């Protein structure tokens, strides 16, 4: 008969999603995005020294990351010494707290991943040192030392499994310095 048929129906289920998408994801789904072949950048800014030394069993890292094309998706870290991995908090300004260390050398790699899947890395070596340095005074050889001058020369030997960076001296009269 060529007419329009109508049907009454009840909706069994209605789903509404609120998904936040980056500009790159929107352009990509619309087919207008240019391929992003440029990797992001990631920089570890703390600790400042590489290698860094610590006497505690965890380390906190922080840094920055950027990506001009599609934006940073995620920052991950991994410790090659103990196979531990994790995800940092933040993206363009990130931090990773309480990364577990093993005694000795820990090579930690931080990886930034952009929305297009490109990655880049930065690494830092953390030395977890649990052995105290040793120091021996070799002169004067008597203890206590008795002198008739206002100054005294003190010599000695110091050692550590990772080297000595500084030796300081102190006396009970308020004097101190770097040897």
Cβ(51)–Cβ(127) below 8 Å: yes
pLDDT tens digits for range 60-112: 999 999 999 889 999 999 999 999 999 999 999 999 999 999 999 999 999 99
Specify the pLDDT at position 24.
Answer: 59
Specify the pLDDT at position 21.
Answer: 63
Specify the pLDDT at position 171.
Answer: 85
Cβ(129)–Cβ(119) below 8 Å: no
Element (H, E) at 25: helix 23-30
Regions of the chain with pLDDT less than 50: none
Q: CB neighbours of 71 closer than 8 A, spacing ≥ 6?
A: 22, 23, 24, 91, 114, 115
Cβ(101)–Cβ(58) below 8 Å: yes
- Total-model pTM: 0.71
Specify the pLDDT at position 101.
Answer: 98
Burial class (CB in 10 A: 0-12, 13-18, 19+), 144: exposed
């Amino acid at each position: 008969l060529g007419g329009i048929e109508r049907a009454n129906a009840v909706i069994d289920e209605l789903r509404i999603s609120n998904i936040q998408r980056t500009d790159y994801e929107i352009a990509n789904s619309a087919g207008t995005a240019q391929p992003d072949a440029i990797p992001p950048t990631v920089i570890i800014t703390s600790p400042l020294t590489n290698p860094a030394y610590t006497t505690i069993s965890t380390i906190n890292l922080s840094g920055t990351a950027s990506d001009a094309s599609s934006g940073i998706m995620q920052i991950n870290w991994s410790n090659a010494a103990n196979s531990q991995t994790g995800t940092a908090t933040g993206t363009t300004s990130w931090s990773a707290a309480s990364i577990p260390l093993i005694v000795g050398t820990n090579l930690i790699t931080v990886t930034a991943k952009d929305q297009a899947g490109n990655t880049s890395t930065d690494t830092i070596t953390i030395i977890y040192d649990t052995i105290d340095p040793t120091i021996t005074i070799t002169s004067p050889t008597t203890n206590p030392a008795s002198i008739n001058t206002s100054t005294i020369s003190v010599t000695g030997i110091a050692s550590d499994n990772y080297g000595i960076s500084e030796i300081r001296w102190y006396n009970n009269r308020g004097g101190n310095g770097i040897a």
